[in-house]
Amino acid sequence: MASKIVPEEAETCHHTHDGHSWSRCWRQTDHVQYEASNRESTPSIPTICTAQVAEGSATPFVAATDLYKDGLLKLGQGVGSIAVPLSDAEGSPDNTSDAGSRFTELKSDLELPRRAYITTEKISSTTLCSSDITEISSARANLKPRAVAKDILSHIATKIQLLALQNVYPLRPIDGNSTLKEARYKVLSFYRRVMVTVLLTNMLVLAVMIPRSSSRTRRFGYEQAATAVGANLLTAVLMRQEHAINLLFHMACSLPARTPLKIRRIAAKMAYNNGGVHSGSAVSALLWYIFYAVLVVRHFRGGDAANRAVAAISAAILVIFTMLILLAHPTMRRKYHDLWELSHRFGGWTAVALVWAQIMTVAVTSSHPAGRPLAAALVSLPTFWFLVIITCCLVYPWLRLKRLPVNATKLSDHATQLHFADRQLPTCRAVRLAHNPLLECHGFATIPDKPDTSDAEKGYTVVISRAGDFTHSMIQHPPKHIWLRGAPTTGVMRLSSLFTPIVIVATGSGIGPCLSFLNVYPNHPMRILWSARSPAQTYQADIMNDVLRADGNAVIIDTKRTGKPDLIALTFALAKECAAEAVMIISNPAVTREVVYGMESRGIAAFGAIFDS
């Protein structure tokens, strides 16, 4: 069944074998890709096929017919159905006179569509040795491997395989003006655009209201300014309330698959950039409170004691608000993370308590001369109801505080796995864990147990990688019990279901949040790129198998063996290979920003965790 393949850019060949017909596309490049582009039927018996290296080509390449086999295949393991010239095959005698039909068959029982990546350093050669063929891996033909190969290490990519993938789909230059692209996607990221929009809207309204607050007109008083402060504070708090966040993600993920891609992308960005609303509203609350403090000091008349109390409370609130915003700046938060966490918790509680005290003082003083009941005065104030909701949001997580038993499994010196059996969680939820919940709380993505898990073992898992004192102590001294606070919160990985297909990129323990999606949606069309130091040893076979179950052709990189990979180029190659609608990345801040920018600047939608909110 050998067929001579000529070096054309897209030569289509048709073959018939055992009564079955296939069509396939051959593409010539320095690193040649083979793909079975259309498979009309499946042979009922193992298929043995052959192919032949083209002669007279400046760049050597190989043609192959349909290849079938579970797992990653490499020439030299007795698998494949590649024909190479006898004159170049190692140890093969050149005893064939017809150069156009000189080949040897490497036969194997084959089951699923395969793709061959071929590379050679002998660019001037017209033939190809068996040693030039570096990898044969699963083709994306809407089929999934039925089982994961037992040899996990065979799925770790080599440098040559990574280069081959990058050369099949070379990273193209950024279109247009790179300076404008950096301004749009880095300086004015979607998160910052949302924040600036909220802030500018408030500043515009504030600018309009300042002239109306003059002593002569008094069309805008401190009561109205207090309403603006309360509205912004409530918005900022709601953007950090678990159920409000879950609702935003639920609304985005409820969009039908037929919704235009552009709308799905905007909905996804709005859902997970809610921190922009939080930050914009918090800064706006400070601006409005400065205006309120000026008005209340100038116009409030409640006696000397009440005036001094209101002025003192106003000064204290201004100091706390300013401190909270300064410490929440990304640079300050990274440098003084523990201080930021404590200030946000205790400073926030103190600020809300002081706002309550100020509102009550003003309400009591204002209602007494008019003979109006205090309750009637309070319920007529919008700020009162804003504060009620804010207080409920602050108290709610502590009502759900509980101490849970945990089964810890140390994966390595760099990672551990915590299993909880208190309930089954939906996909892509994060929980807050702590040894001392009053002083610290750390968010971790959960991995729901796979659907086939027995009822007795149902629960969820948290994978922890060493990244600080808390995680180090969890790995070296695994706890038997731990505190969990608040309701589980939906994470950015949940948006992956909006896009088909999607490329999922993870580094290190970032695979944990990804597994939350992979275990629940293993059949979702996707490509996976995971880069980690010694992934098989650090994260063990179960996690590797979960990754390969979702994408049997996942690109798994051991940075100890290959060094630091070009994640932007590899992500771009996978996105082009499967025509991905979007890219999802879970990594550290620097890598996340670089990959997101690398994709967005080339017209590919990309989503990653937000570190500025």
Q: How far is CA 581 from CA 33, 523, 569, 572, in A?
A: 22, 16, 17, 12
Q: What is the pLDDT of residue 207?
A: 94
pLDDT digits (tens, 9 = 90+) for 301-316: 878 888 899 999 999 9
- Of all residues in the chain, the percent with pLDDT exceeding 70 is 73
* Among the ranges given (368-372, 438-442, 595-599), the one the predictor scored with the smallest mean pLDDT: 368-372
What's the pLDDT at 606? Answer: 95
Q: Does residue 446 have a pLDDT over 60?
A: yes
pLDDT at 511 over 80: yes
Which is more confident, 144 or 204?
204
Quote the percentage of the chain above a pLDDT of 90: 44
Predicted confidence band at 490 (pLDDT cuts at 50, 70, 90)? very high
d(CA 428, CA 490): 6
- Residue 509: pLDDT band (50, 70, 90) is confident
Are the CB atoms for 554 and 578 separated by under 8 Å? no
Phi and psi torsions of 253, nearest 5°: -75, -10
User: Sign (positive/negative) of CA torsion 361, 352, 232, 311?
Assistant: positive
Per-residue pLDDT at 423 exceeds 80: yes
Q: Where is pLDDT greater, at 149 or 271?
A: 271
Collapse the DSSP code of 64 into the 3-class scheme (helix H, G, I; strand E, B; otherwise coil) and give the result. Answer: coil
pLDDT for residue 104 is more than 90: no
* Mean pLDDT comparison of 129-133, 244-248, 406-410, 544-548, highest-scoring range: 244-248
Tens digits of residue pLDDT in 460-472: 999 888 777 788 8
The β-bridge partners of 178 are: none
| Structural domains of the chain, ranges and CATH numbers in brackets | 10-147 (no CATH), 189-399 (no CATH), 403-490 (2.40.30), 493-608 (3.40.50.80)
pLDDT at 322 over 50: yes
Does residue 364 have a pLDDT over 50?
Answer: yes
CA-CA distance, 425 to 83, in Å (whole number)? 51
How far apart CA 87 and CA 77 sit, in angstroms, is 21
Average the pLDDT over each of 112-126, 449-463, 563-577, 580-594 and give the range with the smallest value: 112-126
Q: What is the pLDDT of residue 5?
A: 29
Are 481 and 405 contacting, i.e. CB atoms less than 8 angstroms apart? yes
Region of poorest pLDDT, from 184-193, 202-211, 481-490: 184-193
Q: Give the separation between CA 585 and CA 123, rounded to whole angstroms.
A: 36
Are 501 and 578 in contact by the 8 Å Cβ rule? The answer is: yes
Closest among 533, 538, 596, 593 to 565, alpha carbons compared: 533
Instruction: Check whether 286 has a pLDDT greater than 80.
Output: yes
Bigger pLDDT: 199 vs 613:
199
Q: How confident is the model over 11-32, as pLDDT tens digits?
A: 333 333 333 332 222 222 223 3
- Residues 328-352: pLDDT tens digits? 998 898 888 888 989 999 999 999 9
- Which residue would you say has higher pLDDT here, 574 or 374? 574
Per the prediction, the chain carries an average pLDDT of: 76
Tokens read off for 84: 């190479």
Least-confidence region, from 129-133, 190-194, 512-516, 570-574: 129-133
* pTM of structure: 0.73
